[in-house]
Amino acid sequence: MDNYPVLIVVVPLIAALLAGLAVWVEKRLSYPIALTGLALSTFCAVKVLMQVIATGPIQYKIAGWAPPMGIEYRIDLLNAMVLVIVSGIACLNLVASFESVSQETHDRTGAFYSIYCLFVTGLLGVTATGDLFNLYVLIEITSLSSYAMVALGDKDRGPLASLNYVFIGVIGASFYLLGVGYLYMQTGSLNMADVSLILAGHQGSSTVLTGFILCMVGLWIKMALFPLHVWLPNAYSYSPVAFSRAVAPLMTKVMIYVMIRLMITVFGYDYIFKTLHFSDAVVVLASIAILFGGVMALAQKNLKKMLAYIIVCEIGYMVGGAWMGNQLGMTGAILHILNDALMTFAVFLAVGNMVYKLKNVDLSNLTGIFGKMPWTMAGFVIAAFSIIGVPPTCGFFSKWYLIMAAFEKGAYHFAAALIISSLICAVLFFRVFEICFFPAVSPDHGELGHGESGHGELGHGKSDAHSPIQMEEAPVSMLIVSGLVSLSLIVVGLFSGTIVNTIILPFLK
Amino acid sequence: METIVSIKPLLAVLVSLLVIPALISSSDKPNARESWTFLAGIITFLIVLSMLPVILQGKQIGLTLFEIVPGADIAFRVDGLGMLFALVASSLYIITSIYSIGYMRGLNEHGQTRFVCFFALAISATIGAAFSANLLTLYLFYEILSLATYPLVAHHQDERSKVSGRRYLIFILGTSIGLVLPAMIYCYHLTGTLEFSTAGIFADQLSKPAAIVLLLMFVFGFAKAGIMPFHSWLPAAMVAPTPVSALLHAVAVVKVGVFSIVRVMTGVFGIDLLAKYDLGIIVMIIASTTILLASCIALSQDELKRRLAYSTISQLSYIIFGVALLSPQGLLGGVIHIAMHAFGKITLFFCAGAIYVATGKKYISQMGGLGKKMPFTFAAFFIGSLGVIGLPPTGGFYSKWNLILGTLEAQQSIFMIVLLVSSFLNAFYFLPIVYQGFFGKSEEEVDGVPVKIKEANLCLVIPLMITAVISIVLFFYPTIFVNLINVGLGL
B201 in Cβ contact with B193 (< 8 Å):
yes
pLDDT-derived band at B459 (thresholds 50, 70, 90) equals confident
Average pLDDT value for residue range B254-269: 92
B 460-479: CB under 8 A from A = none
Closest residue by Cα to residue A234 from A299, A302, A282:
A302
Q: What is the pLDDT of residue B450?
A: 67
pLDDT-derived band at A451 (thresholds 50, 70, 90) equals very low
Biggest alpha carbon–alpha carbon distance for chain A: 86
Pairing label, strands A58-61, B3-5: unpaired
Q: What percent of chain B shows pLDDT beyond 90? A: 28
Q: What is the pLDDT of residue A443?
A: 46
The Cα of B67 is separated from the nearest Cα of chain A by a number of Å equal to 6
- Say if the Cβ atoms of B139 and A391 lie within 8 Å: yes
- Say if the Cβ atoms of A461 and B108 lie within 8 Å: yes
ipTM: 0.88
Q: What is the pLDDT of residue A453?
A: 38
B chain contacts of residue A434, beta-carbon cutoff 8 Å: 154, 162, 165-166
Q: What percent of chain B shows pLDDT beyond 70? A: 98
The pLDDT of residue B422 is above 50 = yes
Q: What is the pLDDT of residue B60?
A: 87
**Residue of higher predicted confidence among B107 and A329:** A329
The pLDDT of residue B357 is above 90 = no
Our CA angle for B50, B262, B346, nearest 5°, is 65
Residues 6 or more apart in contact with residue A307 via CB below 8 angstroms? A236, A248, A297, A344, A347, A348, A351
Average pLDDT value for residue range A358-386: 86
Residue A66: Cβ-neighbour burial (10 angstroms; 0-12, 13-18, 19+): exposed
CA distances from B470 to A147, B284, B300, B387 (A): 70, 30, 30, 11
The residue of chain B nearest to residue A452, with distances taken between CA atoms, is B158
Half-sphere exposure of A54 (CA within 13 A, CB side): 6
pLDDT-derived band at A171 (thresholds 50, 70, 90) equals very high
Residue type, B459: C
pLDDT-derived band at A459 (thresholds 50, 70, 90) equals very low
CA distances from B291 to A130, A453, B6, B172, B285 (A): 66, 32, 40, 20, 10
Q: What is the pLDDT of residue B447?
A: 66
Q: Report which listed range, A151-165, A382-396, B27-41, is most confident.
A: A382-396
Q: Which of A385, A419, A438 sits opposite B162 (nearest CB)?
A: A438
Half-sphere exposure of B122 (CA within 13 A, CB side): 29
User: Phi/psi zone of residue B66: left (φ > 0), alpha (ψ -120 to 50 degrees), beta?
Assistant: beta
Q: What is the pLDDT of residue B142?
A: 93
Average pLDDT value for residue range B212-221: 92
A307 in Cβ contact with A241 (< 8 Å):
no
**Residue A446, strand partner residues:** none
What's the whole-number average pLDDT of chain A?
87
Closest residue by Cα to residue A428 from A335, A327, A301, A320:
A301
A482 touches chain B (CB under 8 A): no
Residues in chain A: 509
Average pLDDT value for residue range A467-486: 82
Residue B204: Cβ-neighbour burial (10 angstroms; 0-12, 13-18, 19+): exposed
Q: What is the pLDDT of residue A325?
A: 87
d(CA B91, CA A240): 53
The pLDDT of residue A457 is above 60 = no
Q: What percent of chain A shows pLDDT beyond 90? A: 49
**Residue B62, strand partner residues:** B5, B77
Q: What is the pLDDT of residue A1?
A: 57
Average pLDDT value for residue range A351-369: 85
3-class DSSP state of A464 = helix
Q: What is the pLDDT of residue A358?
A: 84
Q: Which of B68, B162, B173 sits opposite A426 (nearest CB)?
A: B173
**Residue of higher predicted confidence among A107 and B194:** B194
A232 Cα distance to chain centroid = 12
Average pLDDT value for residue range B250-272: 90
The pLDDT of residue A445 is above 50 = no
Phi, psi (deg, nearest 5) at residue B92? -70, -25
Residue pLDDT, tens place only, A36-68: 999 999 999 999 999 999 988 888 888 888 877
B chain contacts of residue A455, beta-carbon cutoff 8 Å: 362-363
Average pLDDT value for residue range A266-283: 88
The residue of chain B nearest to residue A467, with distances taken between CA atoms, is B110
- Say if the Cβ atoms of B109 and A407 lie within 8 Å: no
- Say if the Cβ atoms of B140 and A392 lie within 8 Å: yes
Residue pLDDT, tens place only, A65-108: 887 788 888 899 999 999 999 999 999 999 988 888 878 777 78
Q: What percent of chain A shows pLDDT beyond 70? A: 94
d(CA B326, CA B266): 9
Residue pLDDT, tens place only, B399-411: 999 999 988 888 8
A chain contacts of residue B363, beta-carbon cutoff 8 Å: 455-456
* Lowest-pLDDT range of A38-52, A111-125, B66-80: B66-80
**Residue of higher predicted confidence among A107 and B335:** B335
A392 touches chain B (CB under 8 A): yes
Order of strands, edge to edge, in the sheet holding B72-78?
A: B3-5, B60-69, B72-78
The residue of chain A nearest to residue B152, with distances taken between CA atoms, is A437
A366 in Cβ contact with A470 (< 8 Å):
no
pLDDT-derived band at B449 (thresholds 50, 70, 90) equals low
A60 in Cβ contact with A18 (< 8 Å):
no
The Cα of A330 is separated from the nearest Cα of chain B by a number of Å equal to 15
pLDDT-derived band at A490 (thresholds 50, 70, 90) equals very high
Residue pLDDT, tens place only, A399-441: 999 999 999 998 899 999 999 999 999 999 998 988 888 876 6
Phi, psi (deg, nearest 5) at residue A73? -100, 130
Q: What is the pLDDT of residue A88?
A: 94
Average pLDDT value for residue range A243-247: 90
3-class DSSP state of A48 = helix
The helix or strand, by DSSP H or E, that contains position A381, with its residue range, turns out to be: helix A374-388
The pLDDT of residue B444 is above 80 = no
Query: pTM of the predicted model, to two decimals?
Result: 0.91
B 39-68: CB under 8 A from A = 65-68
Q: What is the pLDDT of residue B101?
A: 85
Q: What is the pLDDT of residue A461?
A: 37
Domain regions of chain A by residue span:
277-440+470-509
A452 touches chain B (CB under 8 A): no
Our CA angle for A373, A374, A377, nearest 5°, is 85
pLDDT-derived band at B439 (thresholds 50, 70, 90) equals confident
Residues in chain B: 491
Helices (H), B265-327: 271-276, 280-299, 304-324
Q: What is the pLDDT of residue B203?
A: 79
d(CA A214, CA A219): 9
Average pLDDT value for residue range B331-351: 90
- Say if the Cβ atoms of B363 and A397 lie within 8 Å: no
The residue of chain A nearest to residue B70, with distances taken between CA atoms, is A497
Average pLDDT value for residue range A287-314: 92
d(CA A293, CA A319): 14
Q: What is the pLDDT of residue A468?
A: 56
